[in-house]
Structure 1
Amino acid sequence: MPGFGPFDSYSDALLAACPRILSKPNATAGRVQSQDFQLRWRVSREYCAWLYYTPDHKYEMSMLTDQSRLDGLDRKKSCVLPSHVDDQRYPPGSLKYVFALHNHPYAARLSDEDIRAIVAKGRTHGFEAETRDGKVRLAVIAFFSTSSDSEHPTCDGFFQYIPLTSQLLKWTQAGGQWRCQQTGSLRWLNETDFRVEERVAPCQLASGGTP
């Protein structure tokens, strides 16, 4: 169901979605080195939503969910993103799926589950969406905060994986300025297995890659 928007650009939507998602209860655990990290980690949760493009040529974010996969050892957090958005203002099949959004309780890279899930979603919805401003490439995004303030955390950046280009990106924000680094790329070995080739380099961006 629709939850947040509309926005004229996906950049505006991302910049608004980041603090909104991170402000949810227990969405952040702060820095790993902080004294209260273990406690905050144990109670932390991931929230997820779709950012999608409508027939009105606007970007909207779906309602957030915190449905998670069970992990008895509490080694990781997860959020199960529904495959479709039910926005009854528009005909079935008219929505275009752009970004799968979620938070990471601390600044950890995208998980293997994040990567496999967005590829599965791309096989359902396609790996790029035609918009009024051109093609936007499907991606999974994980927002994070390094703030010690659990009630008003700062939006300090996000990790991004773009299946169509195999790029792994890390965006960081300081003083209102955004900086992008490509941290590596993915090489698929078969339909289910992949290898991450880590290499820090300046971002080479196309549509669907900038806040």
Structure 2
Amino acid sequence: MTYANSRMRLCGVVLASTLMASGCSSPQAIEGVVRPNPGQPLLDRIPGPMPGFGSFDHFSDALLAACPRILSKPNATAGRVGSQDFQLRWRLSSEYCAWLYYTPEHKYEMSMLTDQSRPDDLNSRKSCILPPVVEDRRYPPGSLKYVFALHNHPYNSTLSDYDIRFIVSKGDEDGFEVETRDGKIRLSIIAFFSDSDDTAHPTCDGFFQYIPLTGQLLKWTSAQGAWHCEQTGTIKWFARTDFRFEKKTAPCQNSTEGAP
């Protein structure tokens, strides 16, 4: 999720989709992306649905559609660590985030994206501040159910402490399971990534997932049209602000949440 560089923040603007050549310029508008106006506070609501995304009967189909939609945004990927120009692409990269939600019509839809962020003077990390509420005017307030918090990682890197705390906070507010027509789905956060150095046409190569209710950290990867899941660790909580990562490498078992 995304941090603007310090120079742009000093100019009083939100992170632009592309780095401006010089001076303090207004962010370039990006289709499907919303952000606060210059000088305004961060958005606390995000509109839905995403135009042209469609509605889906199954969450796995919605995930497969969301991955390329998010990774195709400007500077959403930085390629592989160690590849030529990676450091430059990393400095220019952005994270975009959105909600995948379940509607009263029993469909899965995606909100619009945002790339709003807080400043990081060292430009040492990327983050996107996802508003906690989707505002879909087709439905009454409070009728939407939140399934997955979606975002991209500019390269193949695991979920951050911020990601983990964010989704646990959301679960504390609205619950950690969603009742759907197909049964219960556990709330989780997902970070898509691409291993391609062709940042103009990135491939959707996988995603990381954290499921608070089970504590599982999963890594899904795609190869030749098939998806593979591996558990990479677990999160052990000692308090709502204190947790420890425990490495655990094993095939996924009994995990359908997020399965493409």
TM superposition score normalised by structure 1 = 0.98
**Are 2:93 and 1:83 aligned?**
no
Residues 1-211 of structure 1 aligned to structure 2 (within 5 Å):
1=47, 2-3=49-50, 4-211=53-260
Looking at structure 2, the residues matched to 189 and 69 of structure 1 have their Cα atoms a distance apart, in angstroms, of 27
Deviation at 1:33, TM superposition (A): 1.2
Matching residue's letter, 1:81: L
Deviation at 1:124, TM superposition (A): 1.6
User: Residues 58-111 of structure 1: CA distance to partner in whole angstroms, max 9, x if unpaired?
Assistant: 000000000012111011000000010000001111100000000000000000
Matching residue's letter, 2:139: Y
Looking at structure 1, the residues matched to 72 and 233 of structure 2 have their Cα atoms a distance apart, in angstroms, of 29
Matching residue's letter, 1:58: K
Looking at structure 2, the residues matched to 193 and 61 of structure 1 have their Cα atoms a distance apart, in angstroms, of 31
Deviation at 1:205, TM superposition (A): 2.8
State which drifts further: 201-210 or 162-171.
201-210
Matching residue's letter, 1:172: T
Please say if residues 129 and 136 of structure 1, whose CA atoms lie closer than 8 Å, have aligned partners that are also in contact. Answer: yes
Higher strand share: 1
Partner residue in 1 for 2:17:
none
Deviation at 1:206, TM superposition (A): 3.7
User: Residues 127-174 of structure 1: CA distance to partner in whole angstroms, max 9, x if unpaired?
Assistant: 010000000000000000010111110000000000000000000001
Unpaired runs of at least 5, structure 1: none
Deviation at 1:207, TM superposition (A): 4.5
Partner SS state of residue 232, structure 2: strand
Looking at structure 2, the residues matched to 11 and 106 of structure 1 have their Cα atoms a distance apart, in angstroms, of 22
Looking at structure 1, the residues matched to 231 and 118 of structure 2 have their Cα atoms a distance apart, in angstroms, of 29
Structure of higher CA gyration radius: 2
Please say if residues 90 and 154 of structure 2, whose CA atoms lie closer than 8 Å, have aligned partners that are also in contact. Answer: yes
Please say if residues 63 and 258 of structure 2, whose CA atoms lie closer than 8 Å, have aligned partners that are also in contact. Answer: no
Partner SS state of residue 165, structure 2: helix
Matching residue's letter, 1:203: C
Please say if residues 192 and 206 of structure 2, whose CA atoms lie closer than 8 Å, have aligned partners that are also in contact. Answer: yes
Identity %: 73
TM superposition score normalised by structure 2 = 0.80
